Structure 1
Amino acid sequence: MRAFLTSFMTLFLSFLAGGIIAQQLAVATGAREEYILVFVAVVLLGLVFALVFFIAQFATNARQAVDAAAKWSLAIFALFAVALLGFEYWAVGGDMAMLKADLPIVAGLILPGLAIILVDWLFVRWRVGARRLELGGS
């Protein structure tokens, strides 16, 4: 039951953190309707990474599994970010003016995702550590 509560709170906190960052980026960059994609991505990334950290809680050494899940999530997300930037560069044909115009939405797809991973990792790691102390672990 504790893992379900932790995952529910993780989901809520990741939506909150990702949504705040996406909203602040939208306001700062004067975003328009196309920024809806960023808010949809926040919801999808929040669900995916909450599931990843939910599964990690059931490992034998949960703290180590949560740390590994965070490292792999960050690595895969970094590859996604590099691929997204490369695709954007290719799509605009190397035109730097068009690339600069599209950078706010690219940042909106990357920065909230990083916040979601970090919030999930910090919260789940804290809760797993609290469970270890309750069980008499060190």
Structure 2
Amino acid sequence: MTINKVDSVGIKVSSNKEVVFIEVLGGPEVTCAVTKHAEEDTKKLIKEAMFGLVFLLKDYLNKNAENVMNTHTYMVQVIGDQMMLNELYLNKKHIYIVLQIKSATLPFSFDKIDKFLDIFELLYTLISRLEN
């Protein structure tokens, strides 16, 4: 049994492997304490995503290196009212790249309800990348 330190983990059903790592922090107001905690959570999220990627890459030992370059794990992080979708992949040996794919603002009031479209686009982006 694996104990994950992030808030949530998404498992790909076809491979039973962890591919999405989620961390949520705070409400709409970002304070100094939240900022410090966010830095710690970001490091934790990247570390867990790297472990997940290494676990995925074990399937490619003694195989074509081109396939390895298309292997990714994904991170969803919410800090205050900001939601970010990032992907992590191996660029070259021992060099990992974290790339922010999409971000959105969480609406905490009814006058900003149109912001939900950005949330749905972020989730659609994640789902479409997982299908590839």
Q: TM-score range by the shorter chain?
A: 0.3 to 0.5
- Per residue, is there more strand in 1 or in 2? 2
- Per residue, is there more helix in 1 or in 2? 1
- Please report the TM-score for the alignment, with normalisation by the length of structure 2: 0.37
Structure possessing the higher relative contact order (Cα contacts under 8 Å, 6 or more residues apart): 1
- Give the structure with higher Rg (CA): 1
